[in-house]
Amino acid sequence: MTVVVGYLPTPEGREALATAVDEAIARAVELVVVMSDKGGVPPADVLSERAEDVARITAPLAAAGVAHRVVTGTGEVAEDLVSTAEGAQAELIVIGLRRRSPVGKLILGSNAQRILLDAPCPVLAVKPERS
């Protein structure tokens, strides 16, 4: 069993990762971090940034003794998270949500909606605290 988290280097992604780490520790399970790309072969500078992101997030996990692995997605965020959760027999998916405009509040983000509807397990949606 695992906890799967969608990660981007944004406040929402960092909050999702922090929450997922807490959940993985509490449940004593592996943490699978899914980093989705925009699709295609990324340029060298993006590959370099991704390597830095992976190192930045995995070093504290290793230091804390959290069993983890990083999976690079295809760019289809919802599909990447759902298929990873299915393959890993996840017991929880954690996603970050961003604040929406008044009009945007009428509609939940399409990726979040797809994850909530298609997930094979419970989904925990978190948002960063207001600053």
Please tell me the distance from the alpha carbon of residue 130 to that of residue 127, in angstroms, as a whole number. 9
Burial environment of residue 106 by CB neighbours within 10 A (0 to 12, 13 to 18, 19 or more): exposed
pLDDT digits (tens, 9 = 90+) for 83-119: 999 999 999 999 998 766 554 544 556 788 899 999 9
Amino acid letter, 66? V
- The fraction of the chain above a pLDDT of 90, given in percent, is 49
Q: Determine the distance from the C-alpha atom of residue 20 to the mean position of all C-alpha atoms in its chain, rounded to a whole number.
A: 8
Q: What is the CB-side half-sphere exposure of residue 3 using CA atoms within 13 A? A: 24
Please tell me the distance from the alpha carbon of residue 86 to that of residue 18, in angstroms, as a whole number. 22
- Is the pLDDT at 55 greater than 60? The verdict is yes
